[in-house]
């Protein structure tokens, strides 16, 4: 555990809240272009090719970051961690969806939600859009926020960067389709491993925010059966804490996918988007407080 990084956690969260992500030339966008180019060159749909591609696109950047931190010091660590953190960006994507729903602008809500989920959104109703947005918030509360802060606390800027690049490659290559079935398998497994502990810390945090007992039961009974080993506990605990039902049938790439139902209570509505975000924000500040206390003590 990196004591300096623990002390810098609140500063990273503050910078993200104040400045968010760059509107132009975000480094992760450039990383996406690089990854696409590497994939086109090396993807022969074998596991070995996927391992090699992951290594050459991730490790050099992490090594450069390690050298830069050694030269530039703590302020460079804060910049890297802030760029890796996706809290401000997550809410900036979710808020317009809620506003569109409240204004009964279903077309705009469908368009906006299509930017944050991979399912088909052209025929979604208000409840479906609210559900998709809450699911995205809860899952990314772990992926884009807690896991980034966790790996920054554990291994500094290099850890946060390694995690965020790995998570991005999983989002790009981790599909179980013909093109990525073998090539993306290594990226998916690395992301699963790096997210295992943060996902469960996030689930505990969600449980503490709302209906704790219900959230815990949903996590243990429903979340462990979800097709994703990390998203399941996170979304089930969040749904139970909020008292909403998530999951269920959804259309992906034109095919209906029957998903397990998560949570209890009513189907999500527009105001539940704000409730989900407040839970994420409160939990994020809670973990930053813990990090600061541990940093001072140790």
- 94/99 Cα distance (integer angstroms): 9
b/e per residue 264-285 (b: at least 16 CB within 10 A): beebbbbebbebbbebbbebbe
Range of the domain at 135: 3-297
Residues of the chain with pLDDT under 50: none
- 298/296 Cα distance (integer angstroms): 6
State the virtual CA torsion across 163, 164, 166, 170 in degrees, nearest 10. Answer: 130
Q: Would the pTM count as exceeding 0.85?
A: yes
Q: Name the token pair of 180.
A: 């990525």
**Contacts of residue 14, Cβ cutoff 8 Å, sequence gap at least 6:** none
Tell me the C-alpha to C-alpha distance, in Å, between residue 63 and each of 34, 40, 69, 161, 243.
17, 24, 10, 10, 44
Structurally, the chain folds into a number of domains equal to 1
Please, which residues bridge with residue 236 across strands? Answer: none
Q: What is the largest CA-CA distance in the chain?
A: 54
pLDDT given for residue 52 in this prediction: 96
Neighbours of 263 (CB within 10 A): 28
pLDDT given for residue 7 in this prediction: 81
Q: Is the Cβ–Cβ distance between 245 and 263 less than 8 Å?
A: yes
Q: Name the token pair of 184.
A: 């993306």
Q: Rounded to 5 degrees, what angle do the CA atoms 217, 218, 222 make?
A: 120
Q: How far is CA 295 from the centre of its chain?
A: 25
- 6/298 Cα distance (integer angstroms): 10
pLDDT given for residue 19 in this prediction: 84
Give 181's DSSP letter: T
pLDDT given for residue 209 in this prediction: 87
- 162/54 Cα distance (integer angstroms): 11
b/e per residue 77-101 (b: at least 16 CB within 10 A): bbebbbbbbbbbbbbebbebbbebb
Q: Name the token pair of 57.
A: 């696109």
């Amino acid at each position: 555990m990196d004591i300096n990084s623990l002390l810098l956690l609140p500063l990273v969260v503050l910078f993200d809240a104040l400045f968010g992500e760059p509107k132009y030339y975000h480094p992760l966008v450039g990383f996406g272009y690089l990854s696409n180019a590497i994939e086109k060159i090396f993807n022969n749909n074998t596991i070995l090719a996927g391992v090699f591609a992951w290594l050459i696109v991730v490790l050099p950047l992490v090594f450069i970051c390690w050298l830069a931190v050694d030269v530039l010091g703590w302020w460079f660590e804060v910049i890297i961690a802030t760029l890796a953190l996706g809290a401000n960006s997550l809410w900036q994507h979710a808020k317009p969806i809620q506003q569109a729903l409240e204004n009964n602008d279903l077309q705009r809500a469908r368009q906006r939600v299509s930017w944050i989920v991979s399912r088909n959104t052209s025929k979604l109703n208000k409840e479906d859009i609210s559900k998709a947005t809450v699911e995205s918030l809860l899952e990314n509360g772990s992926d884009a926020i807690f896991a980034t802060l966790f790996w920054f606390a554990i291994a500094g800027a290099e850890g946060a960067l390694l995690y965020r690049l790995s998570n991005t490659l999983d989002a790009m290559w981790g599909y179980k389709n013909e093109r990525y079935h073998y090539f993306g398998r290594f990226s998916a497994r690395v992301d699963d491993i790096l997210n295992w502990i943060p996902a469960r810390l996030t689930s505990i945090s969600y449980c503490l925010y709302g209906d704790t007992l219900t959230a815990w039961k949903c996590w243990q009974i429903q979340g462990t059966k979800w097709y994703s080993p990390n998203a399941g506990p996170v979304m089930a605990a969040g749904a139970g804490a909020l008292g909403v039902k998530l999951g269920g049938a959804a259309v992906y790439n034109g095919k209906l996918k029957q998903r397990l139902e998560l949570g209890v209570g009513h189907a999500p509505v527009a105001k539940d988007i704000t409730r989900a975000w407040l839970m994420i924000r409160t939990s994020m500040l809670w973990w930053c407080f813990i990090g600061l206390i541990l940093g001072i003590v140790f």
